[in-house]
Each structure stands twice: as structure tokens, then as C-alpha cells.
Amino acid sequence: MNCLMLTAVEQKLRGGFKGIIKIDEPLSAHTSIKIGGPAKFFFIPADGGELRFLLRFLKDESIPACILGNGSNLLVTDERLSVAVIQLNSEYFKNIEYDDALVFAGSGVLLANFVSFAAANGLSGCEFLAGIPGTIGGALVTNAGARDINQQGDDMYRNIGDVVKKVRIMDNEANISCLKREDLEFGYRSSSLKNAIILGAWFDLIPAKKDDIRKSIDNFLSKKRSTQELLMPNAGCVFKNPAGSLLSAGALIERCALKGHIVGDAQVSPRHANFIVNRGNARFEHVKTLMNFIQKKVENDFSVRLEPEVEIWEKNE
């Protein structure tokens, strides 16, 4: 059955698509929390031309598409998703180059590689992205970032939206355009790029001493190592820090005595209360039930409604 479907899709795409096509690809293999059922179609286009060709094909066939980055901010249903998942991680989308302090990075570049590239070229401004396991595309959509201390010693957030200069996108009609920083809006773990397909972006970085850059990267990495859950599969912070609350989401969950709480094989991390870990065989429903339980308990004890930071893929067409 799967072979027949694969052949039919390959035949229709023939001549225009040399990238990877898979049928019923398990998304658990592509999410950091290691949960997710099969995607009916899974594509890795070899380059921008193939992506355009693919989008037109999917539109003609009325197949909805979702873009996958490194899967580090996703909770995906265990059921079969009747969509085409497109991952932009072929070499073409991992291109990274530097000209006159502007760095261009393709959407599939891992943040770790972006940060290392900038450091190796003596460019500062993106060190706060060290240790975030996403891609440039995913980070721009979620406006990924970290807490930092500014020169006055104040606590502040640094987000990727602060350093991006221009973003190259493809729309659902497969048209390419460039959006300047002033055309974009970034919020707390959100951006106006949510419905675009990001091909790559240019970043404004500042020349600095390589040693200073490396020290700053090490600081961010050691902060993460000492606070975050790095051993068991997880999807990063599950809830956003609530606006107007003096306590972070993690602090609220911890004060509800939920650290270590278990549903099935999903557990509130004993290390960081805003992380849910997969102890081995956690299912989508385990995590969802645990999230609902946390939301109810925090609302009951503190009258604060926690909003998910992880993106949930569960709608099946």
C-alpha cells in the first residue's frame, strides 16, 4: 500500500524533484521529545527550485503542508497526520556565508553552527542562541532567545528578532520575497513569520575579540547546563512565562509541588519544572494530560492561566 502510494507521488513529481520523499515517516524520529506518529507525506527538497515545484504540486493536489525545523519546539500527535511535512535541511538550506559583518544563514542551519560560525569569524551578537537546539527557520518563527544581563546589570531577554536584518521567504504560491526588519514583528516567542516559509536570513553582527565571544558563549552554555533538562528527551519550556506574573511558569509549577509528577511515561522534570521529559515510552496523550493537569493546578492555586510555549500538531484533516 505504502509502496504504491510512494510510486504514485514519485511519478507525479517525476522530473521536478530529486530530493527525499517518504510515506508514513514517523515524526518521533524528528522531534526532540521523541513523540509523534507518521506523517502521510514527508519531503526534503534538494533546493529552492524543488521547494517551489513541490509547493505547486501540493497545492494542485490539495494536500496541506507543514514546515519542520529541528522539531525542538513541537508536540506531535501519535495518530497519522494527513499532511505533507516538509523539512528544509538539505545542504542547500544549510548554507552560511559572511560579507561585511552581515551573515547569511539558510533556514536549515542549526543555531549551534550559526553561533560557531559567528565566533570563528570574530562576530558578536548571537551568543545568546548557544545551546538552543533549533534551526534558523524555527528560531525566527518562535523568536527564540535567552535571558541575559545587560551592561547596567539588569536582567533582560535577548531574542533572534533583535539581530535579524532581512528574511528571505517563499509564500504558499511559491513566490520568493525579502522582508526587511521593519516589515517584521517579533513578540515573546512569536513572530509575524508564522505563516511564511523561511528560506534564510541575514544577521547584523558586530566585530569583537574572538576570546570575548567564546567566553560569552561558554557563559550561556554553562547557565543552560546548570538549569535545563539536557539528558532526557523533551521539547524545552512547555509553557510561556505568564505576562504580569512575578513568578515564571517554572516557579509557579514548582510551587504547586509538581516537580517529578508523572502521567504514563511523561514526567515534570525533577530538574526544571517547566520541562516535561519523555522517560522512554511517553505518548502524546500522556504529555497532553500532564499539561492539562499543570494548567488546572496552577490556575487553581495562583489564578494564572499558563499558555503553551510548545506548538501542538494534532489536527488531522
Ligand X SMILES: Cc1cc2nc3c(=O)[nH]c(=O)nc-3n(C[C@H](O)[C@H](O)[C@H](O)COP(=O)(O)OP(=O)(O)OC[C@H]3O[C@@H](n4cnc5c(N)ncnc54)[C@H](O)[C@@H]3O)c2cc1C
Contacting residues toward ligand X, per CB under 6 A? 32, 66-74, 88, 107, 132-135, 137-139, 141-142, 144-146, 197-198, 228, 234-236, 311
CA-to-CA distance for 168 and 180, rounded, in angstroms? 9
Tell me the CB-side half-sphere exposure of residue 212, using CA atoms within 13 A. 9
Q: In the chain, which ranges are continuous DSSP H helix? A: 2-13, 48-60, 111-120, 136-142, 210-227, 249-255, 284-302
The answer for residues whose C-beta is within 8 angstroms of residue 49's C-beta and 6 or more apart is none
Q: Which of 76, 121, 139, 283 is nearest to 214 (CA)?
A: 121
Give 32 or 113: the residue with its C-beta nearer to ligand X: 32
Q: How far is the CB of 39 from ligand X (least distance, A)?
A: 12
Q: Which residue has the cell 560557531?
A: 116
Give 6 or 251: the residue with its C-beta nearer to ligand X: 251
Q: How far is the CB of 238 from ligand X (least distance, A)?
A: 10
Position 224: which residue type? K
Q: How far is the CB of 179 from ligand X (least distance, A)?
A: 12
CA-to-CA distance for 147 and 173, rounded, in angstroms? 37
Q: How far is the CB of 282 from ligand X (least distance, A)?
A: 14
Q: How far is the CB of 234 from ligand X (least distance, A)?
A: 5
Q: How far is the CB of 12 from ligand X (least distance, A)?
A: 24
Give 103 or 297: the residue with its C-beta nearer to ligand X: 103
Q: In 102-196, where do the E strands start and end?
A: 102-106, 123-124, 145-149, 155-159, 164-170, 176-180, 186-187, 190-191
CA-to-CA distance for 76 and 155, rounded, in angstroms? 33
Give 2 or 177: the residue with its C-beta nearer to ligand X: 177
286 three-class SS: helix
Give 23 or 76: the residue with its C-beta nearer to ligand X: 76
Q: Which three cell numbers stand for residue 246?
A: 512575578
Give 180 or 194: the residue with its C-beta nearer to ligand X: 194
DSSP annotation of 12 reads: H
Tell me the CB-side half-sphere exposure of residue 34, using CA atoms within 13 A. 13
CA-to-CA distance for 257 and 129, rounded, in angstroms? 31
Give 70 or 295: the residue with its C-beta nearer to ligand X: 70
Q: How far is the CB of 7 from ligand X (least distance, A)?
A: 28
Q: How far is the CB of 15 from ligand X (least distance, A)?
A: 25
In this structure, how many other beta carbons lie within 10 angstroms of the beta carbon of residue 304? 18
Q: How far is the CB of 8 from ligand X (least distance, A)?
A: 26
Give 28 or 234: the residue with its C-beta nearer to ligand X: 234
DSSP lists the bridge partners of residue 97 as 104
Give 71 or 250: the residue with its C-beta nearer to ligand X: 71
Radius of gyration of the chain (CA): 20
